[in-house]
Amino acid sequence: MRKFVLNDGVEIPTLGFGTYKIPSDGTAYRAVSQALSIGYRLIDTAALYMNESEIGKAVRDSGIGRDEIFVTSKVWLQDNGYARTRAAIDDSLRRLDMDYMDLYLVHQPYGDVQGTWKAMEEAKAAGKIRSIGVSNMTARMWKEHYPGFDVKPSVNQVEFNPYSQQRNIRRIMSEAGCVLQAWSPLARADADLMSEPAISEIAEKHGKTIAQIILGFIIHEGVIALVKSSHSDRIRENFDVFDFSLDDDDIDAMRKLDKGHPVRDPDAPGVAQYLLSKYDIYSK
């Protein structure tokens, strides 16, 4: 598995397994167990996903050394702020049944982001977290919050796929050595993207699937891709992306697909209020 080196010296795999909407009814445990057996070494979860316990159990039962598996979790919006984030970090560690998390993110950068970041900086210094970062942070948010951070974010996890290549925030992040991580790298199997003629032509040339070409492009661009599936054949297919290389013409064709904006705009009015009304992690 190829790795990137984060700005704090921590190594992170270039391809990870995401667990959003994989239920904690045994499905998450089975999916993560299979992903680990295939070779995935980056597992991404969050307090919101309500499956941290199964992820932790799958990691422990895998027989793979804890230091070989990179585990990410995130603080949910309800817990933004210094005191609540301190408690949320310990809650995630308890549910995962781990001594530390490799990466911990501000899931939604609204409200008291500075207080949340301070708690995360302290947890990193205490050894509870190896690296800290943000998620869904736009260029506007970065400019607002970044000057108040003592520790630079190592990762920003955002919507990223060939139709949404996030060039503006990537340019700004590069000054801090922050790596972009892609959620929804396949645009939730968007019908237009998965039948895009330019990608289909490249896939045929390399004898790969459209999904594999997209993932290969994302990794080529220096972005960490998080793929998600509970289907064994798809989990395996998405991992099989390290035995080919895209040429310059392929890369140019893929870059031209960028539409210049994500499907979901974190800067849109009312996003925080919508998320708080829709997702209450304490009501479940």
Give catalytic residues, as residue numbers: 49
- Helix orientation angle between 248-255 and 210-220, rounded to the nearest 10 degrees: 90
Beta strands, E only, 160-260 = 179-183, 224-227
DSSP 239-283: H--SS----HHHHHHHHTT--SS-SS-TTSTTHHHHHHHH--TT-
Amino acid (1-letter code) at residue 52: E
Cα gap 133→18, rounded to integer Å: 16
**Helix (H, G, I), strand (E, B), or coil: what is residue 94?**
helix
Q: Judge residue 184's burial from the number of C-beta atoms within 10 Å of its C-beta, 0-12 exposed, 13-18 middle, 19 or more buried.
A: buried
The answer to whether the beta carbons of residues 38 and 17 sit under 8 Å apart is no
The answer to whether the beta carbons of residues 80 and 111 sit under 8 Å apart is yes
Look at residues 115, 160, 113 and name the one whose alpha carbon lies nearest to residue 263. Answer: 160
Name residue, tokens 């003629």: 197
Look at residues 140, 173, 167 and name the one whose alpha carbon lies nearest to residue 267. Answer: 140
CA distances from 170 to 119, 151, 158, 280 (A): 25, 18, 10, 31
Count other C-beta atoms under 10 Å from residue 60's C-beta.
14
Q: Which helix (H) or strand (E) holds 197?
A: helix 197-206
